[in-house]
Structure 1
Amino acid sequence: MALMITDECINCDVCESECPNAAISQGEEIFVIDSALCTECIGHHETSQCVEVCPVDCIVLNPDIVETREQLYEKYLTLTGQALHS
């Protein structure tokens, strides 16, 4: 699953710089995560860095975007130009 930021976000912006895929940006009211870029840090880190630094625990799994660990890793490979060619 991709991550999402809930409306408990306090706009502290510490999560934005932690994202290795640049998936986090300032939205109209709160920060948002682009699910097309979010890999939950798979391929980069052992844990989701935005979740680790969020002071209010407002970053959660997005129940509308179900992805397996393998799918997230494939997305990481594609985003970093390492996609496997068949």
Structure 2
Amino acid sequence: MAISILNLSGGGVSLEFSSNDAKAVREAIRQRYGRMRRRWLTISADVTFGGERFVFQNDWKDLCLISRSAAGAEMLERIASDLGA
């Protein structure tokens, strides 16, 4: 599994993962936070789970979820930890 956390300059984090790991990430989110909802935009998706909003991007099969809040950043860090990152 190639899953990592990237700290962003604005204080948020990005959960980075390959397309091969997308199913494991979705399952980790479902187990910890319940159902995930997505609303596709032009080049990204607005994703909501556990009461927080995230941005999902797929750039050349390098996927990421980007937090929009401090609570969301903590959630992504927990997911990364759950997946052994």
Q: With structure 2 as the length reference, what TM-score do the two structures score?
A: 0.37
Which has more helix, going by share of residues? 2
Higher relative CO (CA 8 A, sep ≥ 6), structure 1 or 2? 1
Q: With structure 1 as the length reference, what TM-score do the two structures score?
A: 0.37
Structure with max Cα Rg: 1
